[in-house]
Amino acid sequence: MPYSQTRPFAGQLRIDLTALASNYNLVQRHIGPHCEAAAAVKSDAYGIGIERAAPALQQAGCKSFFVATLQEGMQLRDILPDDNIRIYVLNGLQPDAEEILDFHSLTPVLNSLQELENWASYAKRTRPYLKCILHIDTGMARLGLPHDELDFIQNRAGAFSKILDIEYIMSHFACADENGHPLNKKQAERFQYAADSFVFSKKSLANSSGIFRNTNWHHDMVRPGMCLYGLNPTPETDNPMQPVISLSVPVLQRRTLPKGESVGYGASWIADKQCELATVQLGYADGFNRSATNAAKLFWQGYACPIVGRVSMDLTVISLENVPPELRPNQGDMIEVLGPHQNADDLALDMGTIGYEVLTNLGRRYARTYKS
């Protein structure tokens, strides 16, 4: 058998679509039958591949999806052409995008008074009761109607309701991943006050963490994202979600480094004794953050292998000192980056970032396989 069929030459990224569907079903069971679980699939379904993730979520029962951009919405509509599937564009109504949204059956999340007026104007020219979501800023100060615009729109809620179908009033938590953060309660109260003026609209507030914090925040729809892909929505407790991805990369070379010699660009790590190292095919061109330099670790057969020296574009060096000599890997053996001994949240902690960034940075040079 040719060597290429017995030894992988690229990093192996395995994505478990069964686990993805199970995570969606766990959320739906948690919120109960009177609340809908939508799915956030922005940024290529958090890096795992929207072409495979979205149909798997649809088969699990998901009928509503949130993307960030118009381009993502158009891509998703090509993947899920079913008219019963609702696709919402979080970044709002861009100038002169009304016809494109309408043509592709995409629903904008309106983030300002100007966007609301533009969508209403388009509805008057075409047909009444075009669907939309109205986003209220309750403390994120990012997108959404600020307080002064909200007061104005609340006084005209009835008029807009005669032109548009404002399906949902929504907002977004800033600190739901921090249990007991005072802003969570404040945002929930502000949201309730804002939504009360729109008696014909449903409500949506909770993100992944918000779903598991307080059942009063579920309202009519929740919008899980990170938890669907295996990240922990409640960082202070055990992760209730199943892992969705695993990643392993091949060893390219093993070497013995004498005491006093350095590794990598900038000579940022110097051996304090003779040691054995392995160079693996992994770098920042693969989306592996350079902040892992001298901080994170990979795993071989359960043994932690610290990264030594700077992460470079295509290569990373690990120490094998924790691995018994008789068990150390050889060229072509696959080293665990993400898997049973380290998930994306664990790796992110060592990198000084968050699991979202680990997932959304997953590179295109890996050989991807999907389990379904």
Q: Which residues participate in catalysis according to the annotation?
A: 42, 265
Per the document, the length of the chain is 372
Nearest Cα to 333, choosing from 3, 7, 4, 1?
7
> Are the beta carbons of 230 and 241 closer than 8 angstroms?
yes
Residues 6+ apart with CB under 8 A from 267: none
Tell me how far the alpha carbon of residue 83 is from its chain's centroid. 25
DSSP SS3 for 229 = helix
> Which residues, 6 or more positions from 47, have their beta carbon under 8 angstroms from its beta carbon?
229, 287, 359, 360, 361, 362
Outline where DSSP puts E strands in 220-295: 221-222, 245-257, 262-263, 269-270, 275-281
Q: What are the tokens at 69? A: 């951009």
Please tell me the distance from the alpha carbon of residue 222 to that of residue 28, in angstroms, as a whole number. Answer: 9
